Amino acid sequence: MQKFDAIRPFYETEVNEALQSVISHPMMKALMNFTFPEMEDEVWKAQLKKTHSIRDFQCNFIYHTVQRILENSSDGLTTSGFEHLEKNNSYLFISNHRDILLDTTLLNAALFQNGHLMTASAIGDNLVQKSFIKTLARLNRNFLVLRGLSPREMLQSSKLLSEYMGQLLLHENRSVWIAQREGRTKDGNDETNPGVLKMIGMASDEADVMQYFKKLKIVPVSISYEYDPTDVLKMPQLLAEANNEVYVKSKNEDLNTILSGVMGQKKRIHLHIGKVLDTEIDQIVAENDSSNKQIQALAQKIDDAVLSNYKLWPTNFIAYDIVHKTSTYSHMYTESEKSLFERRLEMRIGLDNPIALEGFLAMYANPVVNKLKYTNAF
């Protein structure tokens, strides 16, 4: 067994065999019938049998799936900041995290459209427990983050993950996507966990880990959805936390969340690519003498980029005004947009559960609060 076999995507030599193993799976049929509704099954099956690389699978199949998702359950994806990237260069994209599947697939679709290298993307192994989902993830160049380990195993796993990311970025010229923290944001607050940066830095071949981060070319990414299609599914965890209870996921919760994210209404979506953090890292080194302080400062720089470039929607301003019992941002939305939001709130949460109501509204309102740190008016 090779060093990274437990976590890596398929090698190109394994792709065709992996596709053949799932070509008759009912979920593959459902995926392809959704993607190509006019196409006979034998046609897409013949195409899959001729597919021998991850890129071909992504470009000829999954890219079209993404377009269908956008057509069916959104008002479209807009992007900005791609001028900050150079063609054929690898980058470490550190992103806020709202949706299990879409955050990465939308980024890769946009990278493909703009002629850039697509990413290898981190995904928790808890999300790929079913063999078909795991095969599909590996066919989409996902690598596994192992969960539920003992402290000793976690240390070994983190080192392996760090080395694999370094291998991709510095030796294979492959971009990498990783979320700024473990798990999706449930309360609308996007915040980088310094532990993620410490993990990435474990593979450093530099005396100064900050110079290693410069080599990796960190690019902060902001993604925002006008409506979070999984907003109501995030409520049980928020309620448990509000009651100081330990939250335990139900059996098929992750799969249901993935499907809700794909099929649920999102309205408009915006993806912003930040600038590579370069001189910012020099400034951090000049101003902070210890490695810990430097990593904290780097996490803050990523947060600054994510939050200041986060696209706010009418839903965010409506929620802010409701929470603060004000009409401060009434010029940022229409009455019909407010009615639609209030109807969603009533249908999904009900008005008789104050804690759930507060959590739902905070999820949409907090991005406004966070962006106010960077701008005084909208």
Q: Give the domain ranges of the chain.
A: 74-308, 314-371
DSSP string, 281-301: HHHHHHH--SHHHHHHHHHHH
Q: What is the pLDDT of residue 99?
A: 86
Residue 159, CA distances (Å) to 140, 196, 219, 288 in order: 23, 12, 22, 25
**Predicted model pTM:** 0.93
Q: In the sheet where 218-225 sits, what is the strand order?
A: 77-80, 269-273, 218-225, 92-95, 175-179, 119-124, 142-145
Average pLDDT taken over every residue of the chain: 92
pLDDT digits 0-9 by tens, 111-148: 999 999 999 999 999 888 889 999 999 999 999 999 98
* Nearest one of 72, 57, 54 to 11, comparing CA atoms: 54
pLDDT(252) > 80: no
Q: How far apart are CA 37 and CA 20, in angstroms?
A: 21
CB atoms closer than 10 angstroms to residue 29? 14
Amino acid present at 144: L
- Tell me which DSSP letter residue 351 carries: S
Amino acid present at 191: E
CB atoms closer than 10 angstroms to residue 293? 12
Q: How confident is the model at residue 248 (pLDDT cuts 50, 70, 90)?
A: low
CATH says 74-308 is which class? alpha beta
Q: What is the pLDDT of residue 85?
A: 97
Residue 295, CA distances (Å) to 141, 285, 307, 368 in order: 28, 10, 18, 26
Average pLDDT over residues 195-222: 96
